[in-house]
Amino acid sequence: MPNSSDKSCGARNACVHKRAVTPPEGGGGREGACENQQSHDLPEDPVDSLATNTRQAGLPSHSSVDQGKSLVTTKVGVLCVLLLSVVVGLLAALSYFNSQPDMPGCAMTYSRPRYIEQTEFSRSWTRYSIKYKLYLYRESGYDAFDEPNRIPVLFVPGNAGSHKQVRSMASSSASAFVELIGKDPGAVERGQIGYDFFTVGLNEEFTALHGYSILEQAEFVNDAIRYILSLYPKTRAMHKISGSKSAEFALPTSVVVVGHSMGGVVARTAFALPNYVEDSIQALFTLSTPHNNPTASLEQYVESTYAKVNAFWRNGFSNKALDRVSLVSIAGGNLDSMINSDYTYVGDLAPPENSLSVMSTGINDVWLSLDHQNILWCAQMAKKFAKLTVQIMDARQPSQLLPLDARMKLMRRTLYSGIESDGFVESEQPVSPKNALSSDYQYAHVYDSGAIKLSPADMRGLLPKFTKITIKPRALHLLSSIEGISAKVLQVLYDP
């Protein structure tokens, strides 16, 4: 006789297996469940049985263990990636700040500044007298008078810049002048009488982001120059230049302008405005100035201002509006993370006779890459700039400067290392009389890659006769004798 347990669908584990295979639907009862079991009766899988017993016992299954191991592995992997990212980031930061090819190496400059606000420069001179200010810089211990009586210089700060940023170059200029007079007392008789540094306070406006600010500041600069020039008839008569006995100094008709960053763009814009006085700026120096493109094109008017000003400059030398102006652009190099040094190039805005572009890394006695701010206070750069500006002054001229040709030649010799010169670098060398050729020449300029313009024109016919001397790579040296005794070695630079 069948056992009652068989009628109740057999052993417990079989019923468990049955429920796992085909769960009963609705209220089919025991018999329906057993029929379902019989119709789907399968051999019991030992793995499933083990999993079922494991679950019943409250122990983790193999799949749970595997999932846990996978989760732990994922977390460890993510942690390793994060740790590696942190390490790489720290190494990159260490390399950036401590192991760059262009390491910071500037010495500090020191000054004893006084800023004398020009309160008489009021609304009668400019409509921006409330918004902007004009100051005269005085170096304590050097400048004896609070009135200007030397050669005027105007400093224009850049985007969000301060009028006080003039202090390093002004202090270095005063020191360079005192040093010059100590070595050469006759320099004053040649018109080297020192500089009066003026500086404008432009409310620390964000000039790089606002085109109208460029125009307003440029208009103010022109008004300030008119005011500055109006001071000298009175102050020169009041304060005689010490050391000048027989020299007669002309009253200044122009101001040397130095612009930092966007201040250089403001200074170039001043030339294109209606209130610009002709020839009132004949020497313009710019430091880390983005001449070709704005650094942040967030406003259409900045773009249009750039386009109009650059078009004015490109045409200004052919129509003689700028033919007496010298433009010098100095870039800081790799450490300047704000201004791409390519933007500072002015070769496409002015011809080589009127302009030069140079990087601080290529300037003799500097040889440093400079960031956007320390190009103003770096001692090596400030001293070199002071030496340059002292050499080009000549108070006997109404411009207070050497003539353009002499000025440009001196600035190239001072700023260029000799490797990147855009003309001939001359030196005396002994030569055999058999190499004697004509010495009837003056200058040569490289206007673009491979293009050489020779002056006078008859030197073109002599060019094939010159002896080629390979002294330095990427350079061509031409040899010409002078009266069969000595020779000039002329270096023509080119980009092959």
Give the residue among 243, 284, 237 at the shortest CA–CA distance from 265: 284
Phi, psi dihedrals of residue 169, rounded to the nearest 5° = -70, -35
Q: Are 196 and 398 in contact (CB under 8 A)?
A: no
Q: Is 280 helix (H, G, I), strand (E, B) or coil?
A: coil
Alpha-carbon gap, residue 8 to 172, rounded angstroms: 110
* Residue 319 identity: N
Write the DSSP assignment of 414-473 as a string of letters: HH--SSS-SS----EEE--GGG-------EEEEEETTEEEEESTTHHHHGGGSEEE--ST
Beta strands in 203-317 (DSSP E): 256-260, 283-287
Alpha-carbon distances, residue 431 vs 398, 428, 478 (angstroms): 44, 9, 12
Alpha-carbon gap, residue 331 to 314, rounded angstroms: 21
Indicate if 261 belongs to the active site: yes
From the list 254, 261, 357, 360, the catalytic residue is 261
Q: How do beta strands 256-260 and 195-201 pair?
A: unpaired
Catalytic residue numbers read 261
